[in-house]
Chain A
Amino acid sequence: MTVDILLDGFLTGGVYALAALGFVMVFKSSQILNLAYGQMIAISAYVLYWLLTTVGVPTWLGILLLFAFGAALGFLIERLAIRPLLGQSFLMLLMMTLMLGFLFHGIIVLIWGVESFHMPFTPTGMLTIGDWQVSPATTWGFVVCVGVFLLLTLVFRYTKIGLAMRVVAADHAVAQSLGIRVRRIFSLSWVMSGFLAAIVGILVGMVWMVTPDLGDIVLGKGLPVLILGGLDSVPGALVGGLIIGLVEPLGGYWAPAMREVVPWIVMLVILLVRPYGLFGQRDIERI
């Protein structure tokens, strides 16, 4: 029984890791914390639902269209809202992303009201692995998560664009002097982040119920993972996600009401003892 819960938590951690990865992608390249990301995920989930039920496209086409939507959303946000603010103080950028989140939330509430749903293609029943039973939705989430992380590792290691992104993450001036278009990399990282939002939107629609509050819930899971793993670390997002996934049911096991608040407490402790996270880069600041 306990093992089942822990295993389920571990697998759900995969979804958390993906949710945190979207933050990391943007932060690594441009040092912007995208607090609209939770709402981007929520709006992706709603758009897929709309495509599948109201428009009535087949599932595979709907998912493909959603990927295009997510990428376009990321691209447009970067171009219209973030690029004009480059070089401004971080609070302005933070408020901008927050307000974009408000805007998306408003749009969701306006169009879909209080509608809540599971994705129509959510697999039902329980999956038996050995002696343990897990929900197939979370297993799917975990598999996709591992796939995405493998793919990203390969992209970063073996492709030219990945190399360019790593250089930009290390130093903007150096990247520019090497002939890398830094702004284009920013744009690309937002597109990838939007793409990830679409993936997480699909998974979240299977694992949890999609409600208008989904954006805030995902944000609430993503931020502790992000701090735990380190703001700019891709493997950190994976490890952090799995840890939070495990810690959450443990806290719930100890006292059921604790479940929601355990990730935040973990985050506060991390902020106190190791603010740059498990894998994050320690800042050295010049006076």
Chain B
Amino acid sequence: MFPSGTFNERPEQDMAIMRTKTQWLLLVAGLIFMFTLILYIPLAWQSWLILVGIYAIAALGLHVMTGLCGQFSMGQAAFMSVGAYTTAILSTRYGLSPWATLPLSGIAAGLVGLVFAVPALRIKGFYLVMSTIAAQFIIVWYLGWAEGLTGGYYGMPVPKITIGGEALNYVQYWWLTLGLVVVAIFLVKNIQRTTVGRTFVAVRDNDKAAEVMGINLFRTKLLAFFIGCFFAGIAGWLWAHFFLYLAPNQFAFKTSLWLLGMIIIGGMGSTTGAVLGVVAIRFMDKMVDELTPVVTSAFPGWAGQIAPALSLIVFAAVVIFFILVEPKGLYHRVQRMILYYRLYPFSYQR
């Protein structure tokens, strides 16, 4: 809902991503804040921030697949690994510049995603989930098995990204990541308001009815998978050049579920929600990391296992809480708050 006095008189106004002047102002201020944020925060938080960006791109892909098109994927981490290994192999073995592999990573991940999406023509719901779980396990198994290509379980090194012969430092890497995140958000927002996104939503809400209306079901589902996996591939590209080292166990089944948990907590079907969910979950994880020494000193007998166990338990508890109490997610809460502010002092009317 827009502030009082905002009328949509032309279709362009109805479709606009940024409708009011306040939104533009907030957008510019927010972008400036995000771009400079890395300069004020300590080193430990810099890598955290970059990882938030990487996860956000992967989660946006999952949002297109799951939130918009209703095709559930529990293999997003594996599709990330395809992108990551594509750039690693092409740049170490074939000497390509990492910049050139950026689109290739996305396309490779998208194509692999298509292979596992083909059963989606006949199946949906549980069965599609199964197919993506199979994708997760088969891809990660392959990465460990094809030693000649990927270095097997011990992994492989990845070259740094350079501009003019100079490697990027953390601050520059964050600018690169943030740039890609902004582009990704813009693309997804754009998908959402154009024909493609509307066919996605139609397929999500009722695939039979969508087919009757003349939507090519198979093509739409494959396209959703391709876009979702393309984003995962881009996230994988960033991941590879950030860690400079790849091993199959970085892309565990758990990571896929974390991503799914992020878009659920953020709010299914909303782009802003997906990003919010990523930030919330990553922040929670960081807090757990910070708290671990305190808990460890309180229970020294459990010192070795407290860190992994706590992270699992807290994440599970938070997602369960959201599913039970606020299934619409964080974004819904935020929207309620904005609505309250706009209607103040007559907030009781809605």
Binding site for B on A (CB under 8 A): 33, 81, 84-85, 88, 90-92, 94-96, 98-100, 102-103, 105-107, 109-110, 112-114, 216, 220, 223-224, 227, 231, 257, 260-261, 264-265, 267-268, 271-272, 275, 285, 287
Contact = CB atoms under 8 A, between A and B. Distances in A.
Contacts of A261: 137-138, 141-142
B137 A271 contact: no
Contacts, number: 119
B313 A107 contact: yes
Interface stretch (B79-87, B178-186, B229-237, B256-264): B256-264
A142 to B, nearest CB: 26
A100 B141 contact: no
A276 to B, nearest CB: 8
Contact of A85 (B254, B257, B310, B324): B324
B304 to A, nearest CB: 6
B72 interface: yes
Interface residues of B, number: 48
B208 interface: yes
Contacts of B119: 268, 271-272, 275
B196 interface: no
A114 B312 CA distance: 15
Interface string B3-39: 0000000000000000000000000000000000000
Interface string B113-142: 000101100110111011101100110011
Interface of B: 66, 72, 116, 118-119, 122-123, 125-127, 129-131, 133-134, 137-138, 141-142, 145, 208-209, 212, 253-254, 257, 260-261, 264, 268, 302, 304-306, 308-313, 315-317, 319-320, 323-324, 327
A88 B319 CA distance: 15
Contact of A102 (B123, B304, B312): B312
Nearest to A115: B305
A94 B292 CA distance: 29
A220 B306 contact: no
